[in-house]
Every structure is written in structure tokens, then in C-alpha cells.
Structure 1
């Protein structure tokens, strides 16, 4: 049976979560290994600056996937939403502030693009939520279908070509730093704080865990499950659109096939972070740690020229399967029994 929502109360210390402790240990070992094997890269400022710019892209998507997985669903359309909103925002900015426009037009284009992206992302998430909650189609099928739908829209709108030539004001804002922290990292931190407040400080967050633990019991408890599901997928759509804005800034262009491996990576992060794929349990701290661990591992792989980027999907897929198998084995109490057996024999 799933963990109860009591394990998710903010009063409980996150160190009691075995996934968080495990990820913390893995992170420390990775840092030590990185420092020993590649000291030049590890102690180089460029490595950490590159990491700070890269991880918010898939980290924001992972936060959205996390919320849907807590209610027992999943969102495989995050990359499609990110690219669709990024292309739409880029085209909108080019309409408002074409090349050679004054700074005032560029600033207006920036504000309009951000608002447009968030609204379209929310609408895409609501569509997913309606299909899951009202039409009662399994979430994996809905979001797989809408991923293709949103990607198709992005291809048609952009003509399958990169959309570039953005107003310089957009790049200036997204490339800026506050207290030395890059803007993408600040966006990720703020997004993490917001999702944490929603999960642990509001009745809505408590209801998410209740819904994920037992949907039938949640319905009998008087919860408006349809509204909860729709709002949850709306949140995921908004976070995917934020990721699209970050990708648009990092690449200085938008294209329908950017971030093609991020769907798998986002799911891997959420599962690695300890979120139960069946819903009802999971910690934000574990997911954030998983984002850092996966980015560190990715940066470490980049330092080995013999390891091609074509191996990334193979590595991520293998790690995902391994984590799922270990979690299932652990959930059945096998690890506890093994530790007790070793304790008695020692």
C-alpha cells in the first residue's frame, strides 16, 4: 500500500526520507569522484557556470512532472509545450519588435512574450487535465498524444525552421545576474519555492497527496477530483512554458525539436527523487537533489570526449529502469529484511 500523506507533512524532517539521504550520499560521492578524476574541470568556473545555465531547462519540466505524478498521473507533453510556447513567444516578439526596433518596443515584446507563454502553457495543461479528468483517458496516453499535437503545432507555425533574431532586450534580461546568480537559476529557485509552498503550505497540496494515495477515497471525502486534476496539469503546463522561455534564451532561438531527450530526463529525475510513480508520496527536496545529481553526472560525462552524446538516452533509460526496479524491490520490504539479516549474522 502507498505511503500516507502524513509522511509528507512539513514538520517531518527531510532527512528521514531514504531517497533524500541516498541522493545526498550519491551527490557527495559524485563530487569527490569529479574532483579526483577531472580536477581541472571541477575547479574551473566555466564548468559550474555552464551547469547553472543548463539544468533549469529540464529542472522546471521535472517540477511539473512531479506534481502530476504525485496525483498518480504523468505528463509526457512537457517538451512539446515548452517548444510550442517558445516558438509562439519568439514569433510574437518579432512581430512587436522586429530587427532594428527601439528599446521600448523590445521591452514591450519581452513582457508580452512572457505573458503569452504562461497563458498558452496553462491552456495546454488544462487541455491535458480535461482529457484525463473528464474524458477519463489514461494520463500516459493523453500526454503522449498531446506531445505530438503540440510538437505538430510548433512545426507548422515555425515551418520546421529555427525562429531566431529575437530582440536584444530578451537576451539581456535572461542573461543577467542578480548577486552573481544567473537569471535561469533564479527562475528555477523561485519556481521551486512556489511549488513548495503549494505542496506543503496549502490545502491544495494536501489534497494532491490524498488524491494520489487513493482516488476513490478522495472522492468519498468530498474532494473535487476533477478540478484538482485539471489544476495540477495546468501547473505542469505553466512550468513547461517557463522551461521554454529559458530554452529560448539559452539557444537564442526556438525550434520544435529542441530538448528532445528532456522528457525522459524529467521522468528520471522525478522517479530518482523518490516520487512514487503510482502517486501519493514524494518529496520536493528529493526531486531538487535529483536535478543536481543528474546535471553533475551529465557535466562529468561531457569531460570524457570518448563518450558520445548519442549514448545519453541509453544511459538515462538504463538508470531509469534500474531506479524503478530498486524502488519496487525496496517497497516490498526486501531491503529492510536484507539489512536485518545482515545485522543478525554479523
Structure 2
């Protein structure tokens, strides 16, 4: 029993408490408020809507763990999607083959990784603040995409892309399977690999990590490179989901990814946080949105509730920290 409990603690960590409680609260409230909430249709809708936001949240997670931020995630995803679209259109559009799609995906991931490399190099070697660097990259990528597309959509893709965005395997949406695979990769990276350990060290204290022999510049570049590559995966999924690509697709996801990280127990200053609690937090946010929709609430209200939820999380964290300090002094 002790071994099983230790493994569960190792997998989820204490960070699961917040999103776990939020999950139970949302399920209980909307389950009572709306009879349709606890239905296959609701969970099917969540399963299809979750992956694109989830992949972008994974892209945000690594920089946040180092004490940084990647504000360019949505536009990096869109420029990667545009890369796939241009390759397909150059090879026949709707008549393009699987080889063209594979080439487009490889180039898209290379484009996303390149944006990450540039940000990582600038942050690591100039020590410029990640917010300023990623904001500059966001403006550049957005402007470049709007220049190349003239602000319009790019569409007209082969029929075989439709199952990637809307198909299922054994009743599980293909985008969700891709997202779960990426969650597992991130979990292994952060808990079983040297890069993950060094990422936490940098987020906790970059100077201490440097004096401990960690090549902090290399780690930061790798972190932002992986973040950019994950953005590309999100961009490919968005292309298949919407059957079109536009520079502004998913622009509203940016701040929600930050909310999902914080709700999932990630320290905003870096150094602490796990992937699985963030996954649970994403499910909570999607269930909250679906519940409000079932109750006839406007989608803008869901966005407002997400903002209030972030404020509530910060207040609860402060109260928990104060309680811990009080207990230590009392003890």
C-alpha cells in the first residue's frame, strides 16, 4: 500500500489538490444545475475541444517552469499551420498526397522550433526578460503571417486531413489521443530526464543552478525550442480541426494557457509544477465552459468566469501560504 501511495504521490504530487477539488466542485454543481451535463455528448464535446488548448498549454508550461513565459505560442502555432498549408497548396491543394503532408509537418515543426531557438538564445545570452523577448517574437510572427496571407484565411486541403481533426479510434477522438501522448512525453521529460531536473533547478534559482554546474544557457534554449515545437503540433491539429488556417486562430487561448498552468499548481515564478495536475486543470476549464453553455450563458461569460477563477486561485494560494506560516510559528 505504501508503495502504491508513493507512486501516486510521485505521479500527481501535492499540486493535484487544487485542480482535483475544482474538478469535483464543477462536476457536482453543473451535474445538479443541468441534467444534460453528465452525458456522453458533454464529455465528447470536451474531448474534441480540449486538445488544441491543451497542446498550447504544454507549450507554455516549460517556459513557466523556468520562471519565464512564451507569449508567442498562438501565433507560432498559426505560422506552423500556414507552413503546412503552403506546402499542401504547392503540391496540388486538395489533391496533395500524404508525402506532401508529412513534409509540411516536418517543416512546420522546424519553423516552430526555430522561433523557440531564437527566443531561447536571446533570453539566455542577453538575459532580457522572457516577457519582452516573447512579446517581440509574437509581434514579429503575427506581422509576418498577416503580410504573407494579407490577413485572410488559407484553405483547400486534402480529405485525408479530416479524420485527424474530427476522427476517432475506438470512440476516442484522434486529437485527444495526440494530446495525451504529448502529455506523457512532457511527464517523462520532466520527471525522468536530466533536462526536466535542470528546468526545475533554473526555475527555483538560476544562479544556484549555474554554480551547480548546470549549463543554464543550453537548458533555456532547449526549453524554448521544445515549446516552439509543441506550438507546431497544436498548429497542425488546429489546421485539421478548422480545415483552414488564419493568423488569428486561437488568439484567445493565450491567457487561458497561463490560467491552466496556475490552476494546475505551477508556481508562476518557476521551479514547481507537474504535467498531470495541469491536464486536470484543463479538463476543469473545458467542463466549466460546457456547463455554462448548457445553462444558456454567453461564451463571453465563460471567459469572465475563467478570469475570476484565476483571481480566486491566487487568493487561495496566498491564504494557504499564510496558514502554513501560521502553523509553523505555532509549532
Instruction: Find the counterpart in structure 2 of residue 97 from structure 1.
Output: 92
Cα deviation, 1:105-159, whole Å, max 9, x if unaligned, reads: 3212221221121111111111111121112210011111211111111111211
TM-score (norm 2): 0.92
1:328 counterpart = 2:318: yes
| Match for residue 306 of structure 2 among 316, 320, 339 | 316
State the 1:12 CA deviation: 4.5
Measured in 2, the distance between the counterparts of 1:338 and 1:318 equals 28
* Alignment partner, residue 23 of structure 1: 19
Distance 1:183 1:85 in 2: 20
Equivalent residue, structure 1, for 2:28: 32
Contact 1:64/1:239 (8 A) holds in 2: yes
Shift of 1:53: 1.1
SS of equivalent to 1:260: coil
Report how many aligned residue pairs link the two structures: 326
* 1:316 Cα deviation from its structure 2 partner: 2.5
Aligned equivalent of 1:288: 279
Residue 72 in structure 1 maps to residue 63 in structure 2? no
Relative distance call for 1:299 and 1:283 in structure 2 (3 A) is same
Q: 1:84 to 1:31 in 2, by over 3 A?
A: same
Specify the alignment match of 1:279 in structure 2: 270
Where does the alignment leave 5 or more consecutive residues of structure 1 unmatched?
1-8
SS of equivalent residue, structure 2 residue 244:
coil
Cα offset, 1:335, TM superposition: 5.4
Instruction: Judge conservation of contact 1:83–1:254 (CA < 8 Å) in 2.
Output: yes
Quote the residue 1:140 is aligned against: 131
Q: Which residue does the alignment assign to 2:112?
A: 121
* Paired residues of 1:106 and 1:170 also in contact (CA < 8 A): no
- In the superposition, relative to structure 1, how do residues 200 and 136 fare at CA in structure 2: closer, same or farther (>3 Å)? same
Shift of 1:340: 10
From 80, 84, 91, the equivalent of 1:85 is 80
After TM superposition, the structure 1 = structure 2 runs for residues 208-219 of structure 1, keeping only pairs within 5 Å, are 208-219=199-210
Aligned to 2:225: 234
1:220 is aligned to 211
Aligned CA distance change for structure 1 residues 10 and 93 (closer, same or farther; 3 Å): farther
Task: Tell me how far apart the structure 2 counterparts of residues 169 and 196 of structure 1 sit (CA, whole Å).
Answer: 31
More moved, 226-235 vs 47-56: 47-56
User: What is the Cα deviation at residue 10 of structure 1?
Assistant: 7.2
Q: How far does the alpha carbon of each residue in 1:223-262 deviate from its partner, in whole angstroms, 9 at most, with x for none?
A: 1110100000011111111111111111111111111210
| TM-score, length-scaled by structure 1 | 0.88
Structure 1 ranges of 4+ moved more than 6 A: 338-341
Q: What CA RMSD, in Å, does the superposition of the two structures yield over aligned residues?
A: 2.2
